[in-house]
Structure 1
Amino acid sequence: MIDSIGDSRIISSNQEGLNEKLDEVVLKHLQHDFKKPYQTHTLEAFKEVEKWIEQQGKPIIFDSCCGVGESTFHIAKAHPEAIVLGMDKSADRLSKHPNDNEQVIQTLDNYRLLQVNLNDFWRLAVEAEWTLSHHYLLYPNPWPKAKHLQRRWHGSAVFPSIIKLGGKLDLRSNWFTYVEEFQRALALANVESHIDIYSADQAITPFERKYWASGQQSLRLLCDL
């Protein structure tokens, strides 16, 4: 359930603490390959951007669940040495990519926005033997109902692909349970991580800006995959 207070969203859940099935679900996914067929639109998008990646020959950064791509722009600006792929399943959200500083945006040629299914794109990147330098997962859909554990990235069948992609992972959420569960899932895969309260002078996503403006905190997980 999500309750609105002003312009913010406070997440509540019918589960207390970590989901009781978390270990069972994560271990199952770590032990079995995810073999669901790829969706055509994601396969085509991957093949097209793969050519660009090869031409650039630079470190690769993923901004997964990027929404309107505001974070993608900021990440690309902070990492001129790399190429950044901002990815979201919603074409409508991507169409709202900020253009109020269009002159600045036009000077950045090191990022692309893609409308894809991440369950497929991540696996395709693993098959192509891509290794990321950074991977950002900023405020993914929390799916707070207990029965929806497997819709959370750490509870999904594609979770092992996140690990295989490597890089420095930066996960943020205003639902602390999500981050704590993700840390437990990484531990089951023998990956160490660190979590702390995150704040900065500038928010880089609309959700981050809205949460902070309403007094909510962000919890961040960092790890080197």
Structure 2
Amino acid sequence: MEKLEQNFSQDLDQDLNQDHKNNSRAITDAQQGIHENLEKVVRKHCGNTYRKPIAEHTLDAFSKIQQQVEDALAKGTPLLMDSFCGTAVSTRIIAKQNPDALVIGIDRSEVRLSKQYDDSVPENAILVQADCADFWMLAQRAGWKTVKHTILYPNPYPKSKHLKRRWHAHPAYPSLLALGGEVELRTNWKVYADEFCQALAYSGLEGVKSSGVEVIDVGESFKPLTLFEKKYKEAGQDLYRCKYVL
């Protein structure tokens, strides 16, 4: 873990030098408050089946790990999913924190996933190059259930016209919910967290609950899970969290 943290800091310094302004500034030119169409969009998606064809590369990636995952589930191994994991720093940390679980880190970028660190990928972690929405749908169809699912600092698409690009307003949102367990979103844009929490109320699911929006305590004991999280913390931004229990 020490080597991983050293590399984490080195990569952070490089990223800050290259693009500090773009990557760590607060979101200001953005929609104000929960989108007026959020309820309409979420209810529509949760009441209809998403029929988009699955991308071939995601089908291939899923098929390569399906047996391994299902063997683990059959043995009672907890399944954790880390979507949009980027360079998989978070996946490595989560896997080390949960040695008895199987952790799947998913990102669409081969370049990001191939980032090398001194610490190798833990044996209980799998990195998958795939479209996350497609992967969720395949996992739902296969009957997989996650114990925990992390979505850390997704692209916020802060302009009002881009509501449907946010994951709680995406047609694949019902598949995310169907995977169950605890879902944790983290973001530096409060509106995203507010919408993510509110979307669950519009999903039509019963017996589920949301934590509400929490400001993450970034005191001395706080250890960031991603490069973005550390950048935002060091820039003095508030960080927000919303959890579902499904």
Structure 2 length as normaliser, TM-score? 0.84
Equivalent of 2:157 in 143, 147, 151: 143
1:4/1:135 Cα in 2 relative to 1: closer, same or farther (>3 Å)? same
* Structure-1 separation of matches of 2:164 and 2:106: 20
Equivalent of 1:197 in 212, 215, 224: 215
* Structure-2 separation of matches of 1:27 and 1:13: 27
Which residue of the partner structure matches residue 238 of structure 2?
217
Structure 2 residue 169 is matched with structure 1 residue 155: yes
Equivalent of 1:82 in 88, 96, 101: 101
Paired AA for residue 185 in structure 2: L
1:7/1:45 Cα in 2 relative to 1: closer, same or farther (>3 Å)? closer
1:44/1:75 Cα in 2 relative to 1: closer, same or farther (>3 Å)? same
Deviation digits for residues 16-54 of structure 1 (CA, Å, limit 9, x no counterpart)? 211111111111101100011111110011011112113
Equivalent of 2:90 in 55, 68, 71: 71
Which residue of the partner structure matches residue 46 of structure 2?
30
- In the TM superposition, residue 187 of structure 1 has moved relative to its aligned partner by 1.1
Which residue of the partner structure matches residue 131 of structure 2?
117
Deviation digits for residues 157-206 of structure 1 (CA, Å, limit 9, x no counterpart)? 00111110001111100001001001111111244211211135211100
* Structure-2 separation of matches of 1:14 and 1:54: 42
Q: Pick which of 88-97 and 42-51 moved more.
A: 88-97
Superposed counterparts of 1:47-62, under 5 Å: 47-56=63-72, 57=75, 58-62=77-81
Q: SS of the residue aligned with 2:162?
A: helix
Paired AA for residue 193 in structure 1: S
Q: SS of the residue aligned with 2:225?
A: coil
Relative to total residues, which structure has the larger strand share, 1 or 2? 1
Paired AA for residue 24 in structure 1: K
Paired AA for residue 214 in structure 2: D
- In the TM superposition, residue 14 of structure 1 has moved relative to its aligned partner by 3.8
- In the TM superposition, residue 12 of structure 1 has moved relative to its aligned partner by 2.3
5+ residue gaps, structure 1: none
* Structure-2 separation of matches of 1:123 and 1:133: 17
Percent of counterpart pairs with the same letter?
42
- In the TM superposition, residue 94 of structure 1 has moved relative to its aligned partner by 1.2
Q: SS of the residue aligned with 2:25?
A: strand
Matched-pair contact (CA < 8 Å) for 1:13–1:146: no
Which residue of the partner structure matches residue 46 of structure 1?
62
Q: Which runs of 4+ in 1 moved over 4 A?
A: 3-7
The alignment's C-alpha RMSD in Å is 1.7
1:7/1:38 Cα in 2 relative to 1: closer, same or farther (>3 Å)? closer
Q: SS of the residue aligned with 1:141?
A: coil
- In the TM superposition, residue 4 of structure 1 has moved relative to its aligned partner by 6.1
Q: Pick which of 32-41 and 6-15 moved more.
A: 6-15
Matched-pair contact (CA < 8 Å) for 2:107–2:130: yes
Matched-pair contact (CA < 8 Å) for 1:179–1:219: yes
1:121/1:7 Cα in 2 relative to 1: closer, same or farther (>3 Å)? closer
Matched-pair contact (CA < 8 Å) for 2:163–2:169: yes
Which residue of the partner structure matches residue 127 of structure 1?
141
Structure 2 residue 29 is matched with structure 1 residue 8: no
* Structure-2 separation of matches of 1:112 and 1:4: 30
Which residue of the partner structure matches residue 14 of structure 2?
none
* Structure-2 separation of matches of 1:6 and 1:156: 25
Matched-pair contact (CA < 8 Å) for 2:108–2:129: yes
* Structure-2 separation of matches of 1:45 and 1:180: 33
Structure 1 length as normaliser, TM-score? 0.92
- In the TM superposition, residue 65 of structure 1 has moved relative to its aligned partner by 0.6
